Structure 1
Amino acid sequence: MAETAPKRQACHGSCHCGLTQYIVFLTLPHPFSSSHPPQQDQQEVYRCNCSTCYKMNMFHVHPANPRDDFMLLSPLNPDHKLSTYQCYDKKRNFYFCPKCGVRCFTFSGVGETDIVELDDKKEGKREVWRAKWDGGNDTRPYVSVNGTTIDFREDFDLRVLTEEKRVQYFDDRSEPEEKKKEARWERPHYGGSY
């Protein structure tokens, strides 16, 4: 990765067939590592070892602000146009394309369509679907983009992030009565993957 100052940038992504298209705003190059872990409400790049994420091969990219940093461009109504999978407490929707099967993002909360002025000069004003949240005391929505669906760019190379130990690994496989292990950077917990 080039040594440049991190700044907020628009990253485009999609499923394989293009039915699902989105923009996620990330601070790039990803500034966090084991020596400088993210604080609450900052973007995270992580993998967990729960059976759901393991089987789906989810490479979580959790943007800092669920409303301002993730915008679904297509379809504008994911609950009607995309397929969804829920498990455990059934609070999170793992959305996936009904045509090609690619899982682009996970969401919990309330979404809405909105007209926004995108920072990206190519886009201008556009109708998008995004989290409904005023940033206040309401329940914070959860958004996690599957990093493997972000269009390739030199400053967001998942291989380099892994090699530079900028990916956190969470333990979600321990039984409820066991104490979950602390997040770590050097390698996945039992049952996880790089």
Structure 2
Amino acid sequence: MSSKEEPTTRSYHGSCHCGAIKYMVRLTFPPILDPTSTAPSIRIYKCNCSTCVKMGLFHLRVIDPATDFVLLSPSDPHTELGDYRTFAKKTSWYFCKLCGVRCFSLGGEWESVELDLEKWSGHENTNGKMTKVWKPKSGEWKPVVDGKEILKPGCYLSVNATSIEPGQEGFSLKEWSEKGWVAYLDSRTRTGNPRVTEPYEGGIY
């Protein structure tokens, strides 16, 4: 898949190791790598903050968390997922209580809805079956940037890319690295711009 190809949107399945957590995510490839572009795009990166490095997170940010991500199981994320929060305590670094795998993190709220998953996945002909799922709630969230609370639309959602099931059409972690799609962020000092050459101090490939 080259960066000159037309964007292609597909839905992908993901899970923790034991399968207690199951989700679906919609991704549009290839990502837009031009930092000056204002067009919506997925973001693929690794950051060097202590939280992400210790957890081994491979960040995959969807275009719109409220419409591009659905949690299929467990039946209630509030009580059935492990929830670890750091620093400002505004982001939930969720993990499976059985196998310990972290599939995603959320800064925002959940809401339960019923969706036609076939239609949501892009299929034109569906049987109209509705499924109860959880999804990030659209609205506003207040992250802390440079020690100050700011208001942003939507919510924060980052999928741990390694929890997406391998072998699905159009999905290859190997390809991301080979094509230079993985950015490295300087979240410790916040003095360096995102780059694709190498991690910042304390970060990992």
After superposition, residues 164-179 of structure 1 pair within 5 angstroms as 164-174=179-189, 179=190
Give the superposition deviation at 1:125: 2.2
Give the superposition deviation at 1:180: 2.1
Give the superposition deviation at 1:40: 6.8
The question of 1:27 aligning with 2:21 is answered no
Corresponding residue of 1:113:
112
User: Which residue identity is paired with 2:28?
Assistant: T
Corresponding residue of 2:154:
140
Give the superposition deviation at 1:21: 0.3
> What percent of counterpart residues are identical?
38
Give the superposition deviation at 1:47: 0.7
The question of 1:192 aligning with 2:203 is answered yes
Paired with 1:77 and 1:38, the residues of 2 have a C-alpha distance of: 38
CA deviation string 1:89-110 (max 9, x = no partner)? 1110000000000000000111
The question of 1:163 aligning with 2:178 is answered yes
TM-score (norm 1): 0.86
Paired with 1:97 and 1:22, the residues of 2 have a C-alpha distance of: 13
Secondary structure of 2:195 counterpart:
coil
CA 1:55–1:40 in 2, change beyond 3 Å: closer, same or farther? farther
Give the superposition deviation at 1:75: 1.2
Paired with 1:40 and 1:52, the residues of 2 have a C-alpha distance of: 29
Paired with 2:78 and 2:185, the residues of 1 have a C-alpha distance of: 28
User: Which residue identity is paired with 1:31?
Assistant: P
CA deviation string 1:129-176 (max 9, x = no partner)? 0111158x97421111000000113522112211211111111122xx
Give the superposition deviation at 1:22: 0.3
After superposition, residues 44-123 of structure 1 pair within 5 angstroms as 44-118=43-117, 119-120=120-121, 121=123
Give the superposition deviation at 1:117: 1.8
Secondary structure of 1:165 counterpart:
coil
In the alignment, which of 122, 135, 141 is matched to residue 130 of structure 1?
Answer: 135
Paired with 1:56 and 1:147, the residues of 2 have a C-alpha distance of: 13
Corresponding residue of 1:8:
9
How many residues are treated as equivalent by the alignment? 187
Structure 2, unaligned runs of 5 or more: 141-150
User: Which residue identity is paired with 2:156?
Assistant: Y
Asked whether the equivalents of residues 31 and 42 of structure 2 are also in contact (C-alpha less than 8 Å), the reply is no
TM-score (norm 2): 0.82
Segment of structure 1 superposing worse, 153-162 or 18-27 = 153-162
Corresponding residue of 2:192:
181
Paired with 1:157 and 1:51, the residues of 2 have a C-alpha distance of: 26
CA 1:139–1:13 in 2, change beyond 3 Å: closer, same or farther? same
Paired with 2:49 and 2:203, the residues of 1 have a C-alpha distance of: 8
Give the superposition deviation at 1:4: 4.9
* RMSD of aligned Cα (Å): 2.4
User: Which residue identity is paired with 1:72?
Assistant: L
User: Which residue identity is paired with 2:66?
Assistant: R
